[in-house]
Amino acid sequence: MATPADLVDRMHQLKVASGLTYRQISDRAREAGDFLPSSTLAGALARHTLPRAELVAAFVRACTDDEQTVQSWTRARNALTLRTTPTPRRPPTAPDPGAGPSSSPAGHRRAADHGRRPLLAFVLGALFAATVSRAVTRSPQRFADGVPEAA
């Protein structure tokens, strides 16, 4: 396994080979003393990022019931941790006072428009709700049987 995506692909293959559902894997993990919610497992297998070591161990233990296999998978997962070093984050920099939205009239408009978007969404939503409510309350008999009658 060269990448976290490879590990996740192999985990998916193990799940398929086991014939177990997410719920069954979760139940077997609980019986073995591990905590592995089915939703957490489904999410981990849907991504291509490196899952936590505890998740890998609980998953493999539930699928195989073989501690040697669990150790092997855990070592492979930990080796990937050493190979995949995260990109260091750059510290935030202070904005240049002469740049950005506040330095031009167009930037002011964009900043002001951005602040109005939630208000616009609220107004449009309220209008839609009022329109639907009005249509339903005005003609309750038109849909009495679930089928609209001719007007």
Express each pLDDT in 90-99 by its tens digit. 666 666 555 5
Cβ atoms of residues 99 and 53 within 8 Å: no
Tokens of 32: 């073995």
The DSSP H or E segment spanning 15 is helix 4-18
Express each pLDDT in 42-84 by its tens digit. 999 999 999 999 999 999 999 999 999 999 999 999 999 887 6
Q: Max alpha carbon distance in the chain (Å)?
A: 74
CA distance 42 to 27: 14
Segment 30-51 mean pLDDT: 95
Instruction: Name the band, by pLDDT with cuts 50, 70 and 90, for residue 146.
Output: very low
- The SS3 assignment for 32 reads coil
Segment 14-27 mean pLDDT: 96
Lowest mean pLDDT among 1-5, 30-34, 141-145: 141-145
Residue 48 one-letter amino acid:
H
Across the chain, where does the E strand assignment appear? none
Q: Give the pLDDT score at 83.
A: 73
